[in-house]
Structure 1
Amino acid sequence: MMNFNEVSFVDSVFSLKRLPDPLYPEIAFAGRSNVGKSSLINKLINRKSLVKTSSKPGKTQSLNFFEVKERMFLVDLPGYGFARVGRKVHAGWEELISGYLLERETLACVVVIIDLRHELKATDREMLDWLQYNNIPALPVYTKADKLSKNQQSKQAAALDAALNFAPADRLLFSAKTNLGCEELRNRLAAYGEYNEYGETNETDEEE
């Protein structure tokens, strides 16, 4: 059973040459700057501040690896869609992110975090289209649901579904404040960690 409470920081990676050994399936978390990515990951692993949050967009510039005890890596990607960084820095982010997503054989899924309160942003559509084009599994998560009433949640989610051509079963509603969708997200991500590339479970057989 995957235990998301047993999580430790591994490394901040600024170069593809410094990636950790590909020991486990990996779940990457992507989203626009300040969309609530760090808050979502902290809630997922039931910690308050293991993943650092910041009010300053564009702060995360590395791939931050966290290990779910000997089962899975969670990878916090730099936020995208923030214009107030130098062109050179932005190009570096893109090279780091796209290189990781395209080349990492143990990447199992990319969680794409989208703010439920707003219309679909072009950068979110581009990210999901790019992942689909490259046959990389993606799970959209509509976050900050607590900011809306139940009726507004339904309307906004339906609008995003239509814009992305997704069915409700293809995504999740989430709130870091109310725990909405948190357990379901854990269950979905745990399923990616049950099997390795050879179709074998990650659990080690006990010697008889």
Structure 2
Amino acid sequence: MSIIHNLKYSHSAHFIDDLPEDTGFEIAFAGRSNAGKSSAINALANHNRLAYVSKHPGRTQLINFFQLHNNENFKIVDLPGYGFAKVNMDMKKHWDIVLPHYLQKRQALVGLIIVMDIRHSLTPLDDQMIRWFIPADKPIHILLTKADKLSRSQTNQELQKFKQKLKDSNFDVPITFQSFSSLKKDGLESVEDIFLKWLPFSG
């Protein structure tokens, strides 16, 4: 059983001052709107609607915190989806300030998981998210979601293309990645390994 199967909603933040006390250990999930971030969190937590899933991208407009039922020191953090065209300019400017602050200054944050659609990976906004986080000097793991929409050979081809994209981007930090399917629950164990590697406890 995944160590995050017992998550429960804890807190939401819009402004920097709304963030909870900077203690414990947090793993944040980021991703372009409609890349499958909420579905990935729900699959990992074995919960259908822990993180809100919508057919309309751009619905996550808060930083949402979920904590373990039996260990309040560990939280999963669902960051606002980025890249949705209909988000107004004021909202975009707001998150362009708040998100880099959270990613670079948050002491409890131990690593960032970025969710990308395997068919449309490493967009300019994904690149920006990575570069926002690099100054924190903490690990990044990328979930290439919706792999169920491709054949195994197509998935392997996309993984090789993505590896080259990372190399060409010259991030100069180690970034791990994997294919993932929320629908088929494919890749859950690999993410579990990441959690156990990043966290100072095993559940």
**TM-score, normalisation: structure 2:** 0.88
- 1:140 is matched with which residue? 142
5+ long unaligned stretches in structure 1: 195-200, 204-208
Deviation string 1:14-58 (CA, Å, 9 cap, x unpaired) is: 111121123321000001001100000000111111111112222
Deviation string 1:86-142 (CA, Å, 9 cap, x unpaired) is: 110111122221111111101100101111112531111222233234423211111
User: In the alignment, is the contact (CA less than 8 A) between 2:52 and 2:60 conserved in 1?
Assistant: no
Q: 1:2 to 1:151 in 2, by over 3 A?
A: closer
- 1:197 is matched with which residue? none
Q: CA separation in 2, counterparts of 1:184 and 1:175?
A: 12
Q: CA separation in 1, counterparts of 2:127 and 2:162?
A: 10
Q: 1:11 to 1:133 in 2, by over 3 A?
A: closer
The one of 83, 92, 114 equivalent to 1:112 is 114
Equivalence map 1:1-208=2 (5 Å): 3-68=3-68, 69-70=70-71, 71-165=73-167, 170-194=176-200
User: In the alignment, is the contact (CA less than 8 A) between 1:125 and 1:164 conserved in 2?
Assistant: no
Q: CA separation in 2, counterparts of 1:130 and 1:93?
A: 12
User: In the alignment, is the contact (CA less than 8 A) between 1:30 and 1:111 conserved in 2?
Assistant: yes
Q: CA separation in 2, counterparts of 1:112 and 1:100?
A: 15
The code of the aligned residue for 1:23 comes to T
Higher mean C-alpha displacement, 51-60 vs 151-160:
51-60
Percent sequence identity is 34
Q: CA separation in 2, counterparts of 1:113 and 1:43?
A: 13
Deviation string 1:70-91 (CA, Å, 9 cap, x unpaired) is: 1411000001112212110111
The code of the aligned residue for 1:106 comes to A
Asked which structure has the greater CA Rg, the reply is: 1
Q: CA separation in 2, counterparts of 1:144 and 1:2?
A: 20
Aligned length: 196
The code of the aligned residue for 1:6 comes to N
Higher mean C-alpha displacement, 108-117 vs 49-58:
49-58
The code of the aligned residue for 1:13 comes to A
Cα distance, 1:148 vs structure 2: 0.1
Higher mean C-alpha displacement, 120-129 vs 28-37:
120-129
Higher mean C-alpha displacement, 94-103 vs 128-137:
128-137
User: In the alignment, is the contact (CA less than 8 A) between 1:9 and 1:67 conserved in 2?
Assistant: yes
5+ long unaligned stretches in structure 2: none
Compute the RMSD of aligned alpha carbons. 2.2
Higher mean C-alpha displacement, 88-97 vs 146-155:
88-97
Q: CA separation in 2, counterparts of 1:17 and 1:34?
A: 28
